[in-house]
Amino acid sequence: MKECVELVAREKLLEESQEALNARKEASLREGTNMIGSADAGIYIRSLYKRENVLYLIARTAKKKALLAIADQAVNFAFTGTSETHAGLSYQVVELTKENAPALHALFPFTKPVSLRDRRTTIGMGDRLGKATAGHIRAARKYQVAPVLAQQSIRELDFTDRDFAEVVADASFAVFEEGYEEGYGADGDHLKNFEAIDTALAEHMPMVTLDLTEVMKPDVADWAENKVEDAFNRLPDEFRDRVKRDFFDASFRCGEHTITIPTSEAKLCAVMYGPALDFSEKVNRHVKKKTNDTYDLEISIDETTTPTLPEHHVFIARELQERGVMVNSLAPRFVGEFQKAIDYIGDIDEFERQFAVHCAIAREFGGYKISVHSGSDKFSVYPAVGKHTGHRLHLKTAGTSWLESIRVIARKAPDLYRTMHTKAIQFFPEALKYYRITADIETIPAPESVPDEKLESLLEIAECRQLLHVSYGGLLSDPAVRSDFFATLHREEESYYNIIEAHFDKHISLLGVPRKKQARKAG
Ligand code: ZN
C-alpha cells in the first residue's frame, strides 16, 4: 500500500478541497475512468473523501484492496489499528472487513443500508461473492431505481461461508468505493424463523423477506371438502367469523378485474394460510419494534409448486391489511417457470394476463410492490412486468452476478474455466437438492473440446448457465478453484464491473425503467 500513499503525495491529493475532489468524481463518471494510477497501485477516484484534514480513499495493489486514511500530520484516526508514516504522510491501512464496517458507517452514513419503502422501483442485486457491487452501482445510478446491494439467503450464506455482517460490510465498502450516496437496501432474503430474522436485524438489514413456505399448508388444496370443513371449524372464532363475513361468496373489484371467492375456497384459504398469516403478523410487530418502523417487509409465497391463484392472493392481501401488516412487497408464484439464470419458460401471453391481475390486486390492497423472484435473465417477460406494475416493483436477482464472474474467467483464464466447469459437473447432483431446475447437462459440449476463444459461448447455453449457477457452493469451497478464482477476479476487476454493468443495463432498460435526468449545471 506504500505505492498508493506515494501516489497521494505525488498528486497532492491532501491539498485538494472536497469540491475539487468532487469535480474529479464527476469527471470520472462522465468519462468512465475510475482510477488514479494503475491496477497495481491505484486509487479509486470516486472514493476520495475528506473529513477534518484526513483523506479517505480505497486503494488497490496487484494483490489486495484496502481503505486508506491519510493525513499530513500525526492524528488519531477513526479506525482502530496502528498508523504508519511514509512519503511525509501519516496513514492507516484499514482492511475491508466486517469489524471495520461500523466505523465506516459512523464516518460516512451513506454507506449504511436504509429502508427503501418510499422508492418506487427497487432491484435486488444479490452479490454472492461480495465483489460485484461496484458494477451493480454503475448500472443502478443511471436509472430511476434504488438498488438492494446486500442481499443473501441463509442458503447462500452457508454455501459461500459468509455471514450477514460480511455481506453488509462488502456492500458498504463498495458503496464507498463508488461514492454512491443515494441510499441502498439490504435484504435478509428468504428468512423463515425469528432466529434468522434477528441475525439479519442485528446487522441493520432493513429489508426482511419473510418466506412463508414452511408455515403454509399447500397440501390443503388436495384435501376432501369435509376435511377442510373440520379444520375450518377448529380455527379461532374471531378469524373464522371474519372469514365468514368478508370472504364467503364475496366479490372483490380490483381495477378492471372482479375476483369472486366461493365459500368453499374461502374456507380452504383460511385453513391453508391461517398459520402463515398469524406468523406474518407476529414478525411484522417484531420487526417494526426492532427497527423503529424503518423496515421493508416482503412477504414471499413464491417457493411453492403451483402458481398463486388470484383468489388466494386476494385472501392473503386483504387479511394482511386487516391485521395491520406493513407489506412493502409481496412475491406471488407466477404461472410458467422462473428457473435460475435463464429466460422465462412458458406462455408469455398467459403470464402477462395473470401478472396483470396480481398487479391489480396489489394496487387494491395497500399498493405494495409486486416482487419478482428469480428475476435475473427473464428478458422476455420484462416488458410486461414493467408495464403492468408501472415500475412500482421489486425485481430480485441473486446469482446472475456470480455467473457473470465466470464469464470473466472464461475470457481471461481458460484453463481455470475448464477446471471449474468439470468440477461443477461433479457438484451438480448435490446442488440439485437445493435448487429446482430441469437442465439436462449431458447436452453441454465438453469444455476440453472448445477452443479458448469460444469458451465464453458456453455461457449462452441454458443448461450450462444453470449448471454453473447452482454449483457455486462446491466451487467456492474447492481449494483447486477458490484462490485462483478470486485472484483472477481481482486482476480483471474492471472487466468484471463492465460486464456486470452491461448485464444490468439490459435488465433495467427492458423493464422500461426511465433513465435518471442528467443533473444540469446551475447558471
Ligand atoms: Zn423467492
Give me the helix-helix angle, 133-140 and 493-511, nearest 10°.
Answer: 40
Q: Is 147 within a domain?
A: no
pLDDT at residue number 243? 97
pLDDT digits (tens, 9 = 90+) for 292-324: 999 999 999 998 888 999 999 999 999 999 999
Is 25 part of a structural domain of the chain?
A: yes
**pLDDT at site 341:** 83
Catalytic residue among 211, 298, 311, 492: 298
- For the record, the C-alpha cell of 131 comes out as 465483489
pLDDT of residue 523: 38
Q: What are phi and psi of 120, to 5 degrees?
A: -70, -50
Per-residue confidence (pLDDT) for residue 519, from 0 to 100: 52
Where is the domain boundary, 55, 73, 95?
A: 95
Asked whether residue 365 is assigned to any structural domain, the reply reads: no
In a domain, 128, yes or no: no
* 302, part of any domain: no
Distance 373 CA to ligand 1 centre (A): 5
The per-residue pLDDT of the chain, averaged, comes to: 94
CA of 300 to the centre of ligand 1 (A): 6
**Final residue in a domain of this structure, among 70, 95, 120:** 95
Q: Which of 226, 318, 238 minimizes the C-alpha distance to 277?
A: 318
How buried is 503 (Cβ within 10 angstroms: 0-12 exposed, 13-18 middle, 19+ buried)?
A: buried
pLDDT of residue 375: 85
Phi, psi angles (nearest 5°) of residue 69: -110, 125
pLDDT of amino acid 518: 67
The position carrying cell 456492500 is 171
Q: How many domains does the chain have?
A: 2
How many A from CA of 466 to the centre of ligand 1?
Answer: 16
CA distance 100 to 58: 13
Of 127, 156, 189, 311, the active-site residue reads: 189
Enter the C-alpha cell of residue 215: 408455515
Q: Which residues of the chain carry a pLDDT beneath 70?
A: 518-523
Among 60, 95, 130, the domain boundary falls at 95
The H or E element that residue 256 is part of is none
How many whole angstroms from 369 Cα to the centroid of ligand 1?
15
Spacing, Cα 461 to ligand 1 middle (Å):
23
> According to the model, what pLDDT value does residue 76 have?
87
In a domain, 268, yes or no: no
Question: If you count them, how many residues does the chain have?
Answer: 523
The parent domain of residue 42 ranges over 2-95
Report pLDDT digits (tens) over 127-159.
Answer: 999 999 999 999 999 999 999 999 999 989 998
pLDDT of residue 513: 97
How many A from CA of 179 to the centre of ligand 1? Answer: 30
Q: Is 187 a catalytic residue?
A: no
Q: pTM, whole model, 2 decimals? A: 0.94
Does 189 qualify as catalytic in the annotation? yes
